Structure 1
């Protein structure tokens, strides 16, 4: 009896082109490529900024390889050498991590010092624009214990640039005048500030701070109205900590009296 020969179908012939599977494959490959590139880039940047981290990672990888070999090692010589090498690498890794932590702590201290110096010590008032000058004065208020310090200078500020509450509870209203060296604060500036600092802003202590100085008529008006004037020289002393803050002085009151006998600090 003749058995008919069965035709073997070629499985490859039945395989069709699957557009969806191909798209997903290429998409996953693209994502993997992007992630790989991102990881390599991050590793390169970390290696530039933190070379110690690279050293630590290499030590960790070598330690892991040696531990794995130690687990598979059956010879006495290999079992004795691997622990010693592993212990040495572990000690080196711990030392590197300690040094890294000390370095990061030192960087944090230096950064904090730099931030404090930048915030409360305006280097050369002429290098600051008016907005930066106001921020510097606000930082001085925060440094010396004021609460609720707020920079409100700008259009429609009605003469107030910085608002704060002094440590003794008084409401402090400050106007800031960052002028060039040959430009002094005149009486018109004091008059505009004097018309709003008490009646509008409810100041217990009104202070006008300038990077330069005041004209004689301006100082006279400030004395009559009870406005405390801080010129550039006094401001530098305040910044450096060599002079007290305005609210620490027995300055003029709202009634125009001046227990200290002076209106300009």
Structure 2
């Protein structure tokens, strides 16, 4: 019985091999007879595949290079902002307020006044944008590792518009962040929360008008200041 099965398997393999040889020969004969028609098609397919593969590889390389360049630029810009901020860090809080006022004047604000005293109810710098809107700025000269608290933001919210009639209110600080509660309050009350990174961009030449729609995370506010 076992010998019969072995003979059967051997016969089956022989048949399969035989049919394979016949099929290969038939294909070879058919190709030989139709080669004049087939070779342009095969050449086109080969060329298209080669060009497509080369294009895909070039796209991948370009995409990778663009990503690396973007990352490098972001790192260099961050280094440049931080280098400029070391000079800002060396200012006293009074000089910091005057420096922020100078940035406003640089960007076309008029009638810019610095309070320079305690009891100013959050209006450290007051001026007017080029379109006539009143600008009120609270300046906080904090260490970089600190965060602006919700209490700080509440006091500014309570005075910027009710007391000073601000059309545009900025909270500018040298520290890196606002607490979550302070951030949320700034968004709800349409306060532009300018933390260290945004301030660094301002120092490096970003226009004040580009900072107004931003909050402390660099995202757009839920609404814009009235025109």
TM range, normalised to the smaller chain?
0.5 to 0.7
TM-score under structure 2 length normalisation: 0.55
2:189 alignment counterpart: 225
1:42 alignment counterpart: none
1:216 alignment counterpart: 180
User: For the Cα contact (< 8 Å) 2:188–2:222, is it kept in 1?
Assistant: no
Per-residue displacement from partner, 1:83-135 (whole Å, max 9, x unpaired)? xxxxxxxxxxxxxxxxxxxxxxxxxxxxxxxxxxxxxx765332111001101
User: For the Cα contact (< 8 Å) 1:250–1:260, is it kept in 2?
Assistant: no
- C-alpha distance in 2, partners of 1:191/1:210? 15
What is the number of equivalent residue pairs in this alignment?
Answer: 135
Q: Using CA pairs below 8 Å that are at least 6 residues apart, which structure has the higher relative contact order? A: 2
- In structure 2, which of residues 139, 142, 159 is the aligned counterpart of residue 196 of structure 1? 159
1:147 alignment counterpart: 110
- In structure 2, which of residues 121, 126, 140 is the aligned counterpart of residue 158 of structure 1? 121
Shift of 1:238: 0.7
- C-alpha distance in 1, partners of 2:96/2:222? 25
- In structure 2, which of residues 204, 224, 227 is the aligned counterpart of residue 240 of structure 1? 204
- C-alpha distance in 2, partners of 1:186/1:226? 17
User: For the Cα contact (< 8 Å) 1:125–1:178, is it kept in 2?
Assistant: no
2:69 alignment counterpart: none
- C-alpha distance in 1, partners of 2:102/2:85? 10
Once the two structures are superposed, the pairs formed by residues 1-265 of structure 1 within 5 Å of their partners are: 123-212=86-175, 213-241=177-205, 243-245=206-208, 247-248=209-210, 251=213, 260-261=220-221
Look up the SS of the partner of 1:235 in the other structure.
Answer: helix
- C-alpha distance in 2, partners of 1:124/1:250? 23
Look up the SS of the partner of 2:98 in the other structure.
Answer: helix
TM-score under structure 1 length normalisation: 0.48
1:41 alignment counterpart: none
- C-alpha distance in 2, partners of 1:179/1:230? 13
Q: Unaligned regions of 5+ residues in structure 1, if any?
A: 1-120, 253-258
Shift of 1:251: 2.5
1:61 alignment counterpart: none
- In structure 2, do the counterparts of structure 1 residues 144 and 122 end up closer, same or farther at CA, with 3 Å as the change threshold? farther
Shift of 1:250: 6.2
For the aligned residue pairs, the C-alpha RMSD in angstroms reads 2.1
Q: Unaligned regions of 5+ residues in structure 2, if any?
A: 1-83
Look up the SS of the partner of 2:193 in the other structure.
Answer: strand
